[in-house]
Structures are given as structure tokens and as C-alpha cells.
Amino acid sequence: MDAKVHELLNQQINKEFYSAYLYLDFSNYFEQVGLDGFANWYKIQAQEERDHAMLFYQYLQNESQEVTLEAIAKPDKVFTCHMDVLKAGLEHEQYVTALINTIYGAAYDVRDFRTMQFLDWFVKEQGEEETNATDMITKMELFGSDPKSLYMLNQELAARVYTAPSLVL
């Protein structure tokens, strides 16, 4: 495997674990303000991000590449309203999309088709993640100022259950 591709894949493990930390921080915010459905939604997001990290981890191991685990940064944002959290979520997903695109580009440059095929799932997943984040913002804009509607939205988000990714390595 090309050294640059290997480095970027290894770094992505850390970025995905950071994403899990960030979403746990979001979940904590919503628990503290009494929106347990939103908290549930972000706990599940955190589980997804941990699984994403493990997919990168397993891919490197399957390719007989060394995995180097680095320290995971502490989330450092302070939120003053619900919308701030949701907008930070969209911003973060756009950041992760850029990271995936960078790895894909590096793999493309060296004609690493196996890594490109592995990343195809993540490219699709990031499209879904950005759509979900945008939808959360739209719903909050539509319903967030009305307590009854916010309650119903919170109940909708509380119903989300975790499903593991179906990517086969």
C-alpha cells in the first residue's frame, strides 16, 4: 500500500473515534436540556462512528498494514442553543466528507483500486450523513419553537435504533 494512503487511512481511524466523542458530547448536551430523544439520536450516531473507525482499523489489518492509534482530542465546543449543536453536526459531517474525499483522491492517484472500492461505501454513507444532519436542522427550524411540535420531534428521534453497518471487508 502506498505510504500516503496508509497514513491517511490510519489518521481516519482517529477522526472517526473523535466523531464518536463529539456525538457523545452532543448527546450529553441534549440530555442536560431534557431532550432525551435527541440524546438517543446522537448516542446512536456515536455508535456508528465507532463502527466506522473499526472498519478502517480492520481494513488496514486485512491489508497487512500497521495500525497506529493516537490520542483522541476532547470536543471543545460550548453550545448555547439546540440549533448550535445541529449546525455543528452538519459542519462536522462536511469535514468528514472532505477527509474521505482526500483519501479517495490519494488512492486514485496511485491506482489503489482496492482502497477505492473500500471507500465507495463511505462516500455513499457521507452523503446520507450530510442529508440526515440537514434534515435535523430543517425540522428544528420548522418545529423547534413550538413546544408540542418539539416534543413530537423528540419522540420521533427517541425511536431510532442502532443498526450496524453492512460493509463486507
CB-based burial label for 146 (10 Å; 0-12, 13-18, 19+): exposed
Average of pLDDT values for 37-51?
97
How far from 7 is each of 20, 57, 60, CA to CA, in Å?
Answer: 21, 12, 10
Query: Other CB atoms closer than 10 Å to residue 144's CB: what's the count?
Result: 16
Rounded to whole angstroms, the Cα distance separating 139 from 96 reads 23
- Answer whether residue 168 shows pLDDT above 70: no
> What per-residue confidence (pLDDT) applies to 90?
98
First vs last Cα of the chain: how many Å apart? 16
Structure-block grid coordinates of residue 120:
465507495
Q: Cβ distance 144 to 83 under 8 Å?
A: yes
Model confidence pLDDT, tens digit, residues 63-96: 999 999 999 999 998 999 999 999 999 999 999 9
DSSP state of 60: H
Q: Where are the domains of the chain?
A: 3-158
- Answer whether residue 152 shows pLDDT above 90: yes
Average pLDDT over the chain, rounded to an integer = 95
- Answer whether residue 166 shows pLDDT above 90: no
Model confidence pLDDT, tens digit, residues 107-127: 999 999 999 999 999 999 999
3-158 fold: Ferritin (1.20.1260)
- Answer whether residue 158 shows pLDDT above 80: yes
